[in-house]
Amino acid sequence: MTDRMVTANLALSLDGHYHGAGGPQDFAPFIPFVTTDVARDQMSRSWESATTALLGRNSAEGFLGFWSTVADDESADARDRGYAKWLVGVEKVVLSSTLTEAPWDHARIVNAPAASAVADLKAAGTGDILVNSAPTVIKALLAEDLIDRLYLTIVPVITGGGSRLFGTGLPTTTWTLTHQQTGPTGEMAVTYTRSR
């Protein structure tokens, strides 16, 4: 077993939702806040020591169309291009019971629970394992107390509906605030590391 950390990055509303009341595709309330300097710097922090991206099927398919074009876009923000180039080139493990072939280069499909995939990844390799904007995977790992660091961007919006990251039934855990930054529009980047 290696000492690889499992990290997760996600944007949340003030009322704890990771999408708007319109359903999983409703990201409109978040858009003004996730492209700020604070949010982009938070995303950069999340991947700088990661060597594996752990994704769910929806995030893998959604990211493919967007981030692969940003990697080659000279006019894109340098932080966005950095993340995009990292994501295109990094090892990607996509959790899915329905996909038959990987939607990316440097990707493989794993039809297993998130906890099993993490155990296999932690048994070999180096660097952090980043679960980026894949809430179902993050929830599954939180339920098993397998996340070591949370990179959260809190946006100053109450969506009034949507899915929540932190539901009832999670194990009691303690976290240490290791980074905090607030942007001019009220968005806040916070990093919590699991106290073990």
Smallest CA-to-CA distance from 46 within 113, 169, 163, 129 is with 129
Whose CA is closest to 120, among 146, 98, 101, 139? 146
pLDDT at 55 over 80: yes
Task: State the pLDDT at residue 85.
Answer: 95
Top-tier CATH class for 6-194: alpha beta
pLDDT at 148 over 70: yes
- Tally of CB atoms within 10 A around 151: 22
Beta-bridge mates of residue 15? none
Kindly state the average pLDDT of the residues 174-179: 98
Strand partners, 54: 93
Q: How confident is the model at residue 64 (pLDDT cuts 50, 70, 90)?
A: confident
Question: pTM score, two decimals?
Answer: 0.94
Q: What is the pLDDT of residues 20-49, one digit of tens each?
A: 999 988 999 999 999 999 999 999 999 999
Q: How far apart are CA 94 and CA 101, in angstroms?
A: 10
Quick one: which of 194, 196, 140, 193 has its CA closest to 165?
A: 140
Per-chain mean pLDDT for the chain: 94
Residue 80 CB coordination number (10 Å): 18
| Band of pLDDT at residue 1, cut at 50, 70 and 90 | low
**In this predicted structure, what is the pLDDT of residue 65?**
80
Burial of 164 (0-12, 13-18, 19+ CB in 10 A): middle
pLDDT in tens, 83-142: 999 999 999 999 999 988 887 889 999 999 999 999 999 998 899 999 999 999 999 999
User: Residue 190 pLDDT > 90, yes or no?
Assistant: yes
